[in-house]
Amino acid sequence: MSKELYANSKDDAVYSTSFGVPFPHHPYSAQRAGPTGPLLLQDTYLIDALAHFDRERIPERVVHAKGGGAHGYFEVTDDLSDITYAEPFQKAGYKCPVTVRFSTVGGERGSADSARDPRGFSIKHRTDWGNWDMVANNTPIFFIRDPIKFPHFIHTQKRDPQTNLGAGPDASHFWNYLTQNPESLHQITYMFGDRGTPDGWRHMNGYSGHTFKFISKEGKITYTQFHYITDQGVKNLSAEKAGELAGANPDSSQQDLFEAIDNGDYPSWTVYVQTMTPEQAEKFRYSILDLTKVWSHKEFPLRKVGKFVLNKNADNYFEEIEQVAFSPSNLPNGLEASADPVLQSRLFSYPDTHRHRLGPNFNQLPVNQPRTFQKGSGCPFLAGNFQRDGNMAINNQGNRPNYLSTIRPIQSVSVPDEDFKSTHNYTGVVTKKMEDESLSVQTEEAKKHDEKIWEGASYIYVSGIQDIDAEQPRALYEKVYDDAAKARFIENVVGHASSIKQPGLKEQVAKYFGQINDDLGQKVAKGLGVSY
């Protein structure tokens, strides 16, 4: 437990009501009509305490409900000024505060940290030019490439509508979905391997998975993916140990991170990008908008950018971690979302769910508030806009006009050069040209390339997979996993799928894996006791 917690033997605070008036009685007291009579409505203190208690819970995250995190800093060690004009990447040495949250995906808020599941890996960078959120996972690929499938797949891991049972006693829904949607093979082959149960959050890598676009000062685009490589080394739990921890200590990863930071053993990750020019992207064997694929490190080597370090635990978990709201749409100018349809849909989904989970002013909560909105933060500009009021408006922008006024006009920020400005307008940037021209968030060049890439990716809406889709999971199973890892992988799959009750589905699970390797399919069938 926290050393600080035990060091503080006395709290300086005076016990008070929620309106700040010292309470002149014992905290357990309540007003009643006589020694045994009913309670009094005039007991504002009791009513205030109970009414607040009644409202303590906010909705848990619909996915990634179980997690934990900490604060620290991000530092640029190698600039990217040749490929982006994004301010945070211009100079080595640039540093900004971060809040990071790690999580599992499918489980509820009290579920086990050691579950076989991807891990969320989110970083909120509070840069001098606004917030940049990287909402990543510890797997470089994902289950889907069609966003409409996300609710379907997630529902297979939630409680059954009739029995109210989770997936444990019967994995039919989970495998029924997967066998119908075989583009999940790569992610599943990864997740049922050793990396599916990381030994705590400190010992895993993070990956953007999606392709993003850097925009240079000249308006050129460079496609990119981000990698966060753990400086603690990758360490995984055996399936047995993960199962044991799920019962004995469901908060094992939370405890491991908290105690490491509390002991001054600050975890860090080195940040890299993989980059690709549009010309390379057009020739690339796979679509760069297909989230079920990785880019070969040999062909597209990692380029170092910086590091982040976690050196401060939250003082208050709810305020600083439960209420943190990450959005893949929070991007600095000079870094843009690609046309990956899953990423595109996430641009909508996160701010939308935050409005539901935390309210319309979620960005005004201290943990989410961009430093650019804070006077005296040392940022090169003070942010302002025309959003006002709503629940819990705690930074309502003072007496700044609440419309685009010429009486006290809001300033516009400069953009790289005039030519670029004419084709590339930004959200939040007010220019004369913006009033005259239709709104565009892409350069003409970027649009052209996106269209080409998009054509190449049109097969993503075809259900089922083509053999090209089996290549990477096949390589993972055949070349990356040694014999012992292969055996563990099969054991994990068989262990999970053996609870399937739906007749005929076990055979389909074997065939699902048979798509990447026939011998694997046969072994899964044998393990499940079905014919192949």
- Binding-site residues for heme: 350
CB of 342 to ligand HEM, least distance (A): 5
- Does the protein bind ligand HEM through residue 200 (CB under 6 A)? no
Exactly one of 39, 58, 62, 468 binds ligand HEM (CB under 6 A); that residue is 62
CB of 364 to ligand HEM, least distance (A): 16
Cα–Cα dist 435/84, whole Å: 26
Exactly one of 175, 269, 326, 513 binds ligand HEM (CB under 6 A); that residue is 326
- Does the protein bind ligand HEM through residue 67 (CB under 6 A)? yes
DSSP strands (E only) in 243-334: 268-276, 303-312
Token readout for 269 is 């990750």
CB 140 within 8 A of CB 210: no
CB of 179 to ligand HEM, least distance (A): 20
Which residue of the chain is nearest ligand HEM when measured via CB?
A: 120
Token readout for 280 is 């390379």
Residues tagged active-site: 64, 137
DSSP strands (E only) in 250-362: 268-276, 303-312, 335-337
**Tokens 């909105």, residue located:** 373
Token readout for 417 is 């050069």
Exactly one of 137, 252, 292, 361 binds ligand HEM (CB under 6 A); that residue is 137
CB of 94 to ligand HEM, least distance (A): 24
Torsion sign across C-alpha atoms 402, 406, 408, 413: positive
AA letter at 277:
T
Exactly one of 229, 309, 325, 505 binds ligand HEM (CB under 6 A); that residue is 325
Please state the residue numbers annotated as binding site: 350
Q: For residues 66 and 371, which CB has a smaller minimum distance to ligand HEM in the complex?
A: 66
Q: For residues 136 and 215, which CB has a smaller minimum distance to ligand HEM in the complex?
A: 136
Site string for ligand HEM, 272-311 (x = CB under 6 A): ----------------------------------------
CB of 272 to ligand HEM, least distance (A): 16
Q: What share of the chain is helix, strand, coil (3-state, %, to 5)?
A: 35, 15, 50
Exactly one of 71, 173, 307, 346 binds ligand HEM (CB under 6 A); that residue is 346
Site string for ligand HEM, 116-135 (x = CB under 6 A): ----xxx------------x
For 431-500, give the DSSP string.
-HHHHHS---SS-HHHHHHHHHHHHHTGGGGSSS--HHHHHHHHHIIIIIS-HHHHHHHHHHHHHHHTT-
Spacing of C-alpha 458 from chain mean position: 26
How many H-runs (helices) and E-runs (strands) does the chain carry? 17, 10
CB of 501 to ligand HEM, least distance (A): 28
Q: For residues 90 and 180, which CB has a smaller minimum distance to ligand HEM in the complex?
A: 180
Task: Report which of 172, 207, 203 is spatially closest to residue 187, judged by C-alpha positions.
Answer: 207
CB of 466 to ligand HEM, least distance (A): 21
Cα–Cα dist 211/225, whole Å: 5
Cα–Cα dist 380/181, whole Å: 48
CB of 350 to ligand HEM, least distance (A): 6
Stretch that binds ligand HEM, among 59-67, 230-238, 311-319, 410-418 (CB under 6 A): 59-67
Task: Report which of 275, 419, 380, 269 is spatially closest to residue 335, judged by C-alpha positions.
Answer: 275
- Does the protein bind ligand HEM through residue 187 (CB under 6 A)? no
CB 516 within 8 A of CB 473: yes
Cα–Cα dist 63/144, whole Å: 15
Count residues near ligand HEM (CB under 6 A).
27
Stretch that binds ligand HEM, among 58-66, 277-285, 296-304, 479-487 (CB under 6 A): 58-66
DSSP assignment letter at 518:
H
Q: For residues 329 and 440, which CB has a smaller minimum distance to ligand HEM in the complex?
A: 329
Exactly one of 66, 101, 186, 421 binds ligand HEM (CB under 6 A); that residue is 101
Helices within 149-236 (DSSP H only): 149-155, 172-180, 185-191
Site string for ligand HEM, 348-387 (x = CB under 6 A): -xx--xx--x------------------------------
Which chain residues interact with ligand HEM by CB under 6 A?
61-64, 67, 101, 103, 120-122, 135-137, 142, 147, 150, 209, 325-326, 342, 345-346, 349-350, 353-354, 357
